[in-house]
Amino acid sequence: MIVVLKDSATRENVQAVKDYIVGKGAQVHESEGIEKKIIGIIGNKRVIDKTALNAFPGVEHVIQILEPYKLASRKFHPRNTIIDVKGVQIGGLEPVHMAGPCSVETEEQIWEIAKEVSEKGGHILRGGVFKPRSSPYSFQGIGLEGAKWMYDAGKEYNLGIVSEVMEINDIEALYDYVDIFQVGARNMQHFKLLKALGKTDKPVLLKRGMSATMNEFLMSAEYILAEGNEKVILCERGIRTFVQHTRNTFDLNVIPALKNVSHLPILVDPSHATGKTDLVSPVTLAGLAAGADGFIVEIHPRPYEAYSDGDQSLNFQQYDALLKDLNILRDGILTLRKQKLEKVELECI
């Protein structure tokens, strides 16, 4: 951490800052430029509170040099994290394929979709039973019974199950029925939920908040990791910007940027990242070409009958077209992934 002092800082101001730093067990390294005086902090900088330092008289601002996360960092865990779900290796060579409806609606619906996902080579069945909706008058989810239907359908078709938890109590309720807990974008900083998930033994699919920086995203992962659960799967689902041609702006850059600094697998959610069915295929292809470890897509046999997110759900014909497009790039993407895995291995030796 580096403390930049004001021109008007007095000798007493500087001494107070230095005393504070030393009192926290770190060392001080002063440096005086022509226009600015700065103090470098040497030691385990995570113990020092940036905002407190900023509050000292005479301090202009404080610059954090070290990334704030630790367990999520590739420095502490150089190899990629690979998470096994019913034999599927999330973060491994093969990109993972997750699909399903936004909301579980009826037993028939989820079985019809499970069959389709299975036949199309999907690995994980998605479906929400507790739904965060911006309106209190909208459908709020079918509830626990939907999770049981998913469980049965997943068993029949050998598909893992992922479903969203909105609060701490949902974890226990869903525990027996799902293979992966999902945390939605709106809850990315529901820290008590993250801590509770950190104490379970099931993987967590953590969606990026719509205005979360990369560091905040990784710090939310860190909440789970710090409690002992190493199975965190990141998911980019679009951020909120001034753009109007899509519901959200897919931040493609964050995929390779995350791969550089973190070992955690990262998926793309093209349905939320665009909000438009006709953009789902190009965005999925792009995400995988940029290094994403898989995708999670909303599908529905009759989107116009869907209880939620009908406008961004693929029908089965569109889903089929997506998979055909993916198949065209498949060999190239696998070759790229193999190269990268080998490069990581080389750097670990």
Map the footprint of a copy of itself across residues 119-138, applying CB under 8 A.
Answer: 132-138
Query: Which of 12, 25, 52, 119 lies at the binding interface for a copy of itself (CB under 8 A)?
Result: 52
Query: Quick check: 191 binds a copy of itself (CB under 8 A)?
Result: yes
Query: Quick check: 252 binds a copy of itself (CB under 8 A)?
Result: yes
Q: Phi first, then psi: give them for residue 189, nearest 5 degrees.
A: -115, 30
Which residue, chain included where needed, has tokens 């630790």?
70
Q: Please say whether the beta carbons of 232 and 225 come within 8 A.
A: yes
Query: Quick check: 43 binds a copy of itself (CB under 8 A)?
Result: yes
Question: How far is it, in rounded angstroms, from Cα 295 to Cα 270?
Answer: 7
Q: Please say whether the beta carbons of 252 and 286 come within 8 A.
A: yes
Residues 260-319 that bind a copy of itself (CB under 8 A): 260, 273-274, 276-279, 282-283, 285-291, 303-313
Which is nearer to a copy of itself, 90 or 326 (by Cβ)?
Answer: 326
Query: Quick check: 230 binds a copy of itself (CB under 8 A)?
Result: no
Query: Quick check: 192 binds a copy of itself (CB under 8 A)?
Result: yes
# residues near a copy of itself by CB under 8 A = 120
Sheet with strand 27-32: strands edge to edge: 27-32, 37-42, 2-5, 59-63
Query: Quick check: 28 binds a copy of itself (CB under 8 A)?
Result: no
Query: Quick check: 193 binds a copy of itself (CB under 8 A)?
Result: yes
Q: What is the DSSP string of 148-208?
A: HHHHHHHHHHT-EEEEE--SHHHHHHHTTT-SEEEE-GGGTT-HHHHHHHHTSSS-EEEEP
Q: Please say whether the beta carbons of 41 and 20 come within 8 A.
A: no
Query: Quick check: 144 binds a copy of itself (CB under 8 A)?
Result: no
Provide CB contacts within 8 A for 28, sequence distance 6+. Answer: 18, 21, 22, 39, 40, 41, 42
| Min separation Cβ 9 and a copy of itself, Å | 13
**3 state SS of 130:** coil
Provide CB contacts within 8 A for 182, sequence distance 6+. Answer: 126, 128, 162, 163, 164, 165, 204, 205, 207
Query: Quick check: 112 binds a copy of itself (CB under 8 A)?
Result: no
Query: Which of 190, 207, 231, 263 lies at the binding interface for a copy of itself (CB under 8 A)?
Result: 190
Q: Please say whether the beta carbons of 147 and 166 come within 8 A.
A: no
Query: Quick check: 344 binds a copy of itself (CB under 8 A)?
Result: no
**CA 112, 114, 115, 120 torsion: positive or negative?**
positive
Query: Which of 219, 296, 299, 322 lies at the binding interface for a copy of itself (CB under 8 A)?
Result: 219
Query: Quick check: 44 binds a copy of itself (CB under 8 A)?
Result: yes
What type of residue sits at position 336? L
Query: Quick check: 77 binds a copy of itself (CB under 8 A)?
Result: no
Which is nearer to a copy of itself, 75 or 86 (by Cβ)?
Answer: 75
Measured CA angle at 204 (ends 200, 210), to 5 deg: 135
Residue 56's H or E segment, with its range, is: none
Query: Quick check: 255 binds a copy of itself (CB under 8 A)?
Result: yes
Which is nearer to a copy of itself, 121 or 282 (by Cβ)?
Answer: 282
**Which part of the chain contacts a copy of itself (CB under 8 A), choosing from 37-45, 107-115, 120-128, 174-182?**
37-45
| Min separation Cβ 30 and a copy of itself, Å | 10
| Min separation Cβ 101 and a copy of itself, Å | 12
What six digits make up the tokens of 18?
């230095």
Which is nearer to a copy of itself, 53 or 114 (by Cβ)?
Answer: 53
Query: Which of 11, 176, 201, 245 lies at the binding interface for a copy of itself (CB under 8 A)?
Result: 245
Query: Which of 223, 237, 297, 319 lies at the binding interface for a copy of itself (CB under 8 A)?
Result: 223
**Which part of the chain contacts a copy of itself (CB under 8 A), choosing from 92-100, 113-121, 151-159, 162-170?**
162-170
What six digits make up the tokens of 54?
């900023």
User: What is the β-pairing status of strands 88-90 and 37-42?
Assistant: unpaired
What six digits make up the tokens of 333?
């993407």
| Min separation Cβ 6 and a copy of itself, Å | 11
